[in-house]
Structure 1
Amino acid sequence: EILNINANEGKGLIFSSSGQIGEMEYDLNEEDLIESELQGSSSGAYSLTFLKAILKIASITEKLEIALKTDHPLKMNFDLLEGGKLNYFLAPRVEEEEFNEDDMDEF
């Protein structure tokens, strides 16, 4: 399963996913964010399996900062309740491109 994240200046963040169980979409308006520096638009698709594992730390987190850029890893900075910081980078999901035999000759 994949979580799609879209960020749009003036609109905020849109989280969406679809899988065997169903579909979901959650909109987080820019004014609902404590702080935002949204510039233009960017998007990424990330593994829910890895995100679930990383977000287990959220229960001891005071603040989470997300940095998103199209075709780049998702950067998550956690400020921990007892002090300290934890940073994670999660690579975006990359769709496999189909190659025909002629393309393989170029390698």
Structure 2
Amino acid sequence: MRVHQLVVNFNATAQKLVNWKMIRFGFVLVVMFTLVCTVKSYTFQIPVEHDKNGEAYVTFDGTKHWLKDNKNLEYMDAQNCTVHLELFALPTEESNAYVSGWRLCPQEFDKIP
């Protein structure tokens, strides 16, 4: 009889653990979904263009940024947003290359209730 009670207690504990893991998984899923939806609107891809000499550049907010220095460019724009562009030189002249970037605006976070 004692072994039966131990098995029942073990099964009850295992069921509670499974329930807790499912609740935790659901919570993590909701948090990750929220982060992906909010961050996605602040990230972007800019197509790489080439001038007549074959030099690669991207145009962002009306300004040309050349891809010859292998650097991360970060600056504040006119709307007081932090802009980050990954300006890395391309190993070859690719026709479909893109540059990654993001923009964070503090005023957008003031609107969150």
Question: TM-score surpassing 0.5?
Answer: no
Which structure features the higher share of strand residues? Answer: 1
TM-score tier, shorter chain, comes to under 0.3
Larger of the two Rg values belongs to structure: 2
